[in-house]
Amino acid sequence: MKDYVGFEDKKTEDKVLDAALQIVKEKTISGTRMHLIAEEANMVQSNVHYYFKTKNDLMIALQKKVLNRCIELRKQLSMNCEDTLESQLDTFFQQKLDFILQETAYDYAEIDFWIQGRINETMRTEFCKSFQGWRDEIGVLLDKYVPDLSKEKRLSIPYMLVSLLEGASLQYLIDEGSFDIHEYFAFCKKQVLKAIYE
C-alpha cells in the first residue's frame, strides 16, 4: 500500500479492496489472483500493483478492512443501545448477524484469513489482535456492568462469546438451512447471561 494517499488515491484503493473482497468471496484467498482483482475493479493489473505491490500486501490491507468494518459496525450499533450489559452484548450478536446475513463477503473473508493465518505469520498476528480486541471489548463491558465477576468468569466469558459468534458463522455459512440463526443468537445470549449471573 502506498505511504501517501490523497483523496483520489484513497478512492481507487478502496475500489481495489472492494474488488478483492468480492474475489476472495468467490475464489477464496488461495484462488485470488491480482488479474482477477483488476478485472473486478475494472482496472489494468499494473494499476492494482501501483497501490499494492504484492498479493500479500493487498490481502493484509483487506484483512484490516474487514476488521475495521467489524469495529465500525459495532460502534454504530452501540450508539443506539441502552446503558445495560444485555443491550451492549447485543451489539456483538447484531454485528455478527449483519455479517452473516447482509455482509457475507466480510464473513467469508474473515474465515479465510483465519485459515491463511496457519501459513502466513502476518495474517496470524493480525487475526490474533482481532480476537484479542473482541475479548478486550467484552472484558471492558464485564468490568463496567459486573465488577464483582469472579476472575475465572472474567477470563473465560470473552473467549466463550467469541467462540459462539465465530461458530455461528462457520455453521450457518456452510449449511444455512440447518438452524434459525436468530433463535441461535437469542439462546447464546441467554447462556452468556446465565454464565455471568449464576
Number of domains observed in the structure of the chain: 2
150, 72: one domain: yes
The per-residue pLDDT for range 2-43, each reduced to its tens digit, is 555 555 677 899 999 999 999 999 999 999 999 999 999 999
Domain of residue 20 covers 1-53
What distance in Å separates the CA atoms of residue 110 and residue 71, rounded to the nearest whole number? Answer: 13
CATH number of the domain bearing residue 83: 1.10.357.10
39, 100: one domain: no
Radius of gyration of the chain measured on its C-alpha atoms = 19
30, 75: one domain: no
34, 68: one domain: no
What is residue 114's predicted lDDT score, i.e. its pLDDT? 93
29, 116: one domain: no
**Segments of the chain with pLDDT less than 50:** none
121, 162: one domain: yes
98, 35: one domain: no
CB 59 within 8 A of CB 29: yes
167, 72: one domain: yes
C-alpha cell at 191: 447462556
The per-residue pLDDT for range 72-85, each reduced to its tens digit, is 999 999 998 999 99
68, 34: one domain: no
What is residue 177's predicted lDDT score, i.e. its pLDDT? 86
DSSP letters, 124-170, are HHHHHHHHHHHHHHHHHHHHHH-TT--HHHHHHHHHHHHHHHHHHHH
Q: Crossing angle for the helix pair 104-116 and 7-31, nearest 10 degrees?
A: 60
What is residue 7's predicted lDDT score, i.e. its pLDDT? 53
What is residue 10's predicted lDDT score, i.e. its pLDDT? 77
104, 168: one domain: yes
